Amino acid sequence: MTSDAQREQERILGPVLDHLKALGVPYFITGSIAGRYHGVDRSTHDADIVFDARHADFPRKLADRIGDALYVDVPEGAIRQFNVIAADADFKVDFWPIGGDPFARSQLERRQRGRIFNRDTWIVSIEDLLLSKLRWYAQSGSEIQRRDLDRLLVLHRDTLDRAYFERWADDLGLREHLNRLLGEIQ
């Protein structure tokens, strides 16, 4: 990724992370930014942040804090996905509410501290990132997700919490996909 793209991402994501910290809403970064943190760098035009959906007022509070610096697409009615966008940039922040199902709660509990753009932040665990990418791959057949999975599995195969990873692959109905992937990269 070019340094111009990284500067643009930092210009937009950095203040958003600062506001998240100030608001105290449980969250974690996932997607390509988390992939980069865990060792797979590829270009992206967005940051994906998952937040605790029990904080239904979060989008409005974030919009109030950000003011006119960025546009916040505040959802009306039920809590749902929303975006933070800069009019002058080719980068946005997508916010996804996390539900109350056991896997979602587990992801939130297992998030880890990390540093992105010189800020302390919450990042999805490697196991949960892999499970999310495996889910996307199983649903879409995306070659991008497949390449990310291959690289991340190779990088982290000796440090993965295999019991956790395999348990959730079973519970999420992903075991067949996981076995095929593991068999192909061994």
* Residue after which a domain boundary falls, among 124, 147, 176: 124
CATH of the domain at 117: 3.30.460.40
d(C-alpha 71, C-alpha 83), whole Å: 8
Is there a single domain that holds both residue 119 and residue 163?
A: no
- Residue with token string 């960025």: 70
- pLDDT of the residue at 54: 84
Is there a single domain that holds both residue 87 and residue 141?
A: no
Is there a single domain that holds both residue 30 and residue 119?
A: yes
- pLDDT of the residue at 38: 96
* Residue after which a domain boundary falls, among 74, 103, 124: 124
Domain limits for position 163: 128-185
Q: Which long-range contacts (CB under 8 A, 24 or more apart) does 77-85 make?
A: 79/53, 84/12, 84/16
- 2-36 pLDDT tens trace: 578 788 888 889 999 999 999 999 999 999 899 99
- 138-151 pLDDT tens trace: 999 999 999 999 99
- pLDDT of the residue at 186: 61
Q: Which long-range contacts (CB under 8 A, 24 or more apart) does 110-115 make?
A: 110/164, 111/26, 111/28, 114/37
Q: How many domains does the chain have?
A: 2
- pLDDT of the residue at 164: 96
Is there a single domain that holds both residue 117 and residue 141?
A: no
- pLDDT of the residue at 87: 83
- SS3 call for 52: strand
The stretches in the chain having pLDDT less than 70 are: 1-2, 186
